Copies of this chain bind each other. A is one copy, B any other.
Amino acid sequence: MDHIKSYIQEHEDRFVNELIQLLKIPSISADSAYAKDVLKTAEAIKSSLKKAGCDTVEICETDGYPIVYGEKIINSNLPTVLVYGHYDVQPPDPIELWNSAPFEPIIEKTELHPEGAIFARGACDDKGQMYMHVKAMEFMTETKQLPCNVKFMIEGEEEVGSKNLSTFVKNNHNKLKNDVILISDTGMIAKDVPSITTGLRGLSYLEVEVTGPNRDLHSGLYGGAVANPINILTKMIASLHDENNHITIPGFYDNVEELSKEERAEMATAPFNLKDYKNALDIDAVYGEAGYTTNERNSIRPTLDVNGIWGGYTGEGAKTVIASKAYAKISMRLVPNQDWEHITQLFKTHFESIAPKAAKVKVTPHHGGQGYVTPIDNIGYKAASMAYQDTFGKTPIPQRSGGSIPIVALFEKELKSKTILMGFGLDSDAIHSPNEHFGIWNYLKGIETIPYFYKYFTELSKT
């Protein structure tokens, strides 16, 4: 890829400013109050793809937020890369913990990012990483170096479970026909330790509601005599883990893939410093399933976490009340071979079965997706690995991620092609957290690395 370094240098400021404009739009898909902004973001993506050189760009309506599709077909005999990303973002709360407004991006230097990082919700997940592909496309078309066909599919519902993308994919096999799918929505180990994500966890997200008495009660007159739904909820949730932090839902581990000693030994070679990890989070100890290391717990093992809980009086001061209802949002991260719909059913059945007679329990499945593992012997992975070698001067490490991109498993099922996860974010980017940011170095390094993937994938496809 000739002159890529100089091209990026020349256009660096514009690349950063274009991303900043995109980050100013609060495209929060989980909160209907922001519907207009989500749609506005889709329009912005559409025009950016057009400018980047796509021949046809369209906004494809769905039952929810639209999918932006763009393509440039230069020769039907050449391979086709399908780029997937999302333009929606997580809600910013707790808003009070942000040092700057989540939708007023600022650039600040940090210890890890001496070149500066862009602070804003979505900076890394996924506007920043998605936009690297748009700018890589611009480079390849502007410099006449695009070696193959490209298709873009950028959705607006990833943070709420890609509700409508699956239907779109099922109904558009021809339109989406490709030889490899390329996604940047994951991270790498460190700026000097490039890695490619080869595994993703599945997800099952539910909401539970416990109802005690039919109205809030005075805790003095009724306390001790009726089931307090908050106390009941805490008891039920606590019972979902045993003393070894194994999940107690019957059948939960039945299909869990157990890695071999060798695989675990190889995983253990990835650079990891427990002391730094604890310091970064300001915790005195890690916590998790007995018999597994921290890196195993957050990648190859399934989990059950409460993501939110509420009930009773949470305002200022005191209220001596027994609430009528208590609620929790609970998600389970799943590993390959655990079917998310089956696990969701197991949870529902079990949670309802442990409810005491004195309370009513309602379990509402929210969304979910399957886990995924990419083999590293296909040309997609090889092309990515060669790209990193050119731009980082190192062979990237294959790494299982604890995160979930529910749609990836569906892509393989429907489109019969492998997905390559080239992530340029860092754990410290605080995605889904206050003060999310994305290093400018990472952003530009991604723009530099992506075109080499196209180059090597096209070359390896010929042979």
Contacts and interface: CB of A to CB of B under 8 A. Distances in A.
10 contacts: A90-B321, A160-B317, A213-B281, A215-B281, A221-B298, A224-B303, A224-B333, A230-B309, A307-B323, A308-B319
A357 B284 contact: yes
Interface stretch (A17-25, A235-243, A385-393, A449-457): A235-243
A304 B220 CA distance: 10
Nearest to A366: B318
A316 interface: yes
| Copies of this protein, total | 2
Interface stretch (A133-141, A188-196, A398-406): A398-406
Given A237-B234, A318-B366, A301 B224 contact: yes
Contact of A432 (B226, B289, B320): B320
A433 interface: yes
Contacts of A404: 220, 320
A226 B333 CA distance: 14
Interface residues of A, number: 103
Interface stretch (A91-99, A259-267, A440-448): A91-99
A329 to B, nearest CB: 6
Nearest to A282: B214
Contact of A312 (B228, B239, B306): B306
Contacts of A228: 305-306
Contacts of A323: 307-308
* Minimum-distance CB pairs A-B, first 3: A30-B317, A220-B403, A224-B303
A315 B91 contact: yes
Interface in A312-345: 312-324, 326-329, 331, 333
Given A97-B215, A219-B432, 18 more contacts: A29-B317, A90-B319, A205-B320, A213-B283, A217-B433, A218-B403, A220-B401, A221-B401, A221-B427, A221-B431, A225-B294, A225-B295, A230-B306, A235-B241, A283-B359, A307-B313, A314-B329, A318-B331
A85 to B, nearest CB: 17
Given A234-B306, A281-B226, A286-B225, A433 B402 contact: no
A283 B358 contact: yes
Interface string A272-295: 000000000111111111000011
Contacts of A241: 231, 235
A7 interface: no
A308 B314 contact: yes
Contacts of A367: 318
A68 interface: no
Contacts of A282: 213-214
B30 A286 contact: no
A93 B285 contact: no
Contact of A214 (B224, B225, B239, B281): B281
